[in-house]
Amino acid sequence: MSSIKEFQHLKIPLQDLIAATNNFGDTNFIARGGFGKVYRGELVRSDGLTMVAVKRLDSALGQGAPEFWKEVMLLSRYKHENLVSLLGFCDEGGENILVYEYLANKSLDLYLSGHDLSWIQRLRICIGAAHGLQFLHHPAEGSQERVLHCDIKSANILLDQNWKPKISDFGLSKFGPANQQYSYLFSNAVGTMGYCDPLYIETGFLTKESDIYSFGVVLFEVLCGRHCVQNYEDIRRFLARFARKCYEEKKLDAIIHTSLIEEISPHCLERFSTIAYQCLQTDRSERPSIATIVKELEIALQYQVEYDFEKEKKLKQHVVIDFDSDKYWETKLPRDLEVIVKMFKIPHAIYAVKKELFAYLQKGLLYDEGNKFFWINDYGKKCVLLSARIFLNCDLTTWIFQRDLRYILYVIVCSFPPRRALSSQEKRMFIY
């Protein structure tokens, strides 16, 4: 394969990968896929030690050299923030190994049914993945090829430490002409059961709309908190079919992940579920383009952001505390300090949840973006510091107070926090 020569700058010696992965040891193993096992490792590169994911081909699983070189070629040419980055490869000693950037949070499928991801995080992951797919379907201007991924699924959407999504696993991908509205390729159907376009399976005709169908399944996985195929003996077995039925019967509440129901804005849910449903249409012409999906998901996100903002605002306006419960306690500023309170716009009441916080409050804490220092003394009294500028320039050991001063309120009004904590002796001087 003469074209392989253009990728030689990406070649990594086998011995380096053996050292990086502890000889592909069990302690470095992180995942297994259709290509083979994946290992974590630290690879020495020109810019120092780099954490990498090393994918080692196991030909017994069905993929081989063609899929290996296709991934090398595709990822070395197509680069996008929502596509996984290929760092190099190895094809020596009978091995075919791909080396990628290491993504700390692994794959989306691991989080579908859990509570680690909030709804807004899930929504942003879907938007990022949609941007990656849009880049594949509509590459940079001047390119005559579009990439059909052919295996879009939650397990192939990887997440970095900041939960940014990156599409991976291009071994089954195919190239089609980019200058046509509909690009048809005829091939034996490939992909994963439950995600694969039924029309593609039936006819063997592959189009970019086949990826759209798979992405619609992922959207419903994210919403419902379950994988696309589960061990049921009825319609619930395949999520795509079950989700379509629930959407048409207006019974989505029955399948939405229980931890998400209270989080989702009604307008956001309507927009999100509608575009996901359209992706699963049997007729290819009725499926939306990836550009439309991106637009609709971003509108859904805007609805959610506005909903969360209004929800938080209402909570601040209507704080309801059960004072009969020993989980809560209340502190109030003295009435004779009302003028000072208004001057510095300090709330009339400061609420703290859970008595366990008392120990922390005795040590003191910064609040109001670091501009105020607050602590509770041993008698449960609240204490607030003076202006930090005055505090730092005064001699605390010779400070004289009027004996009839009943309360002292210390407020930080400058732009920097205290440079040191008060000593026990100094605190006793300020307690009222």
Task: Please indicate, yes or no, if residue 171 is contained in any of the structural domains.
Answer: yes
Q: Do 354 and 283 reside in the same domain of the chain?
A: no
**pLDDT over 90 (residue 180):** no
Q: Of 101, 116, 150, which residue sits at a domain end?
A: 101
Helix (H) or strand (E) holding 222, with range, is helix 208-224
Task: Please indicate, yes or no, if residue 319 is contained in any of the structural domains.
Answer: no
Q: Do 278 and 152 reside in the same domain of the chain?
A: yes
Q: Of 101, 121, 154, which residue sits at a domain end?
A: 101
Q: Do 112 and 93 reside in the same domain of the chain?
A: no
Residue by residue, DSSP assigns 250-302 as: T-GGGTS-TTTTTTS-HHHHHHHHHHHHHHT-SSGGGSPPHHHHHHHHHHHHH
Per the DSSP assignment, residues forming a β-bridge with 148 are: 174
Q: Of 259, 286, 314, which residue sits at a domain end?
A: 314
**pLDDT over 90 (residue 51):** yes
CATH number of domain containing 78: 3.30.200.20
Task: Please indicate, yes or no, if residue 323 is contained in any of the structural domains.
Answer: no
Per-residue pLDDT, averaged over 350-371, amounts to 56
Q: Do 268 and 170 reside in the same domain of the chain?
A: yes
Task: State residue 421's pLDDT score.
Answer: 54
Task: State residue 14's pLDDT score.
Answer: 95
Q: Do 232 and 262 reside in the same domain of the chain?
A: yes
The three-state DSSP-derived secondary structure of 160-175 is CCCCCEEECCCCCCEE
Q: Do 77 and 116 reside in the same domain of the chain?
A: no
Handedness of CA 333, 339, 344, 348 (dihedral sign): positive
Q: Do 95 and 119 reside in the same domain of the chain?
A: no
pLDDT above 70 as % of the chain: 70
Q: What is the pLDDT of residues 233-262, one digit of tens each?
A: 889 999 999 999 999 999 999 999 999 998
Task: Please indicate, yes or no, if residue 321 is contained in any of the structural domains.
Answer: no
**Between 383 and 83, residue with greater pLDDT:** 83
Q: Output DSSP code: residue 214.
A: H
Per-residue pLDDT, averaged over 345-352, amounts to 42
Task: Please indicate, yes or no, if residue 143 is contained in any of the structural domains.
Answer: yes
Decide: 135 and 78 in contact? Cβ < 8 Å: yes
Per-residue pLDDT, averaged over 313-317, amounts to 76
Q: Do 171 and 238 reside in the same domain of the chain?
A: yes
Q: What is the pLDDT of residues 394-431, one digit of tens each?
A: 554 444 443 333 333 333 333 334 445 555 555 444 44
Q: How many CB atoms lie within 10 A of CB 391?
A: 20
Per-residue pLDDT, averaged over 51-64, amounts to 88
Q: Do 17 and 86 reside in the same domain of the chain?
A: yes
**pLDDT over 80 (residue 295):** yes
**pLDDT over 60 (residue 150):** yes
**CA–CA separation, 345 and 319 (whole Å):** 18
Decide: 86 and 100 in contact? Cβ < 8 Å: yes
**CA–CA separation, 203 and 205 (whole Å):** 5
Structural domain including 158 reads 108-314
Q: How many domains does the chain have?
A: 3
Q: Do 202 and 336 reside in the same domain of the chain?
A: no
Task: State residue 346's pLDDT score.
Answer: 41
Per DSSP bridges, beta strands 165-167 and 328-332 are unpaired
The structure's pTM equals 0.72
Asked which of 1-5, 107-111, 376-380 is least confident by mean pLDDT, the reply is 1-5
Per the DSSP assignment, residues forming a β-bridge with 205 are: 186
Task: Please indicate, yes or no, if residue 82 is contained in any of the structural domains.
Answer: yes
Q: Do 202 and 286 reside in the same domain of the chain?
A: yes
- Catalytic machinery residues: 151
CATH number of domain containing 180: 1.10.510.10
Task: Please indicate, yes or no, if residue 12 is contained in any of the structural domains.
Answer: yes
Task: Please indicate, yes or no, if residue 79 is contained in any of the structural domains.
Answer: yes
Handedness of CA 177, 191, 92, 32 (dihedral sign): positive
Q: Do 82 and 124 reside in the same domain of the chain?
A: no
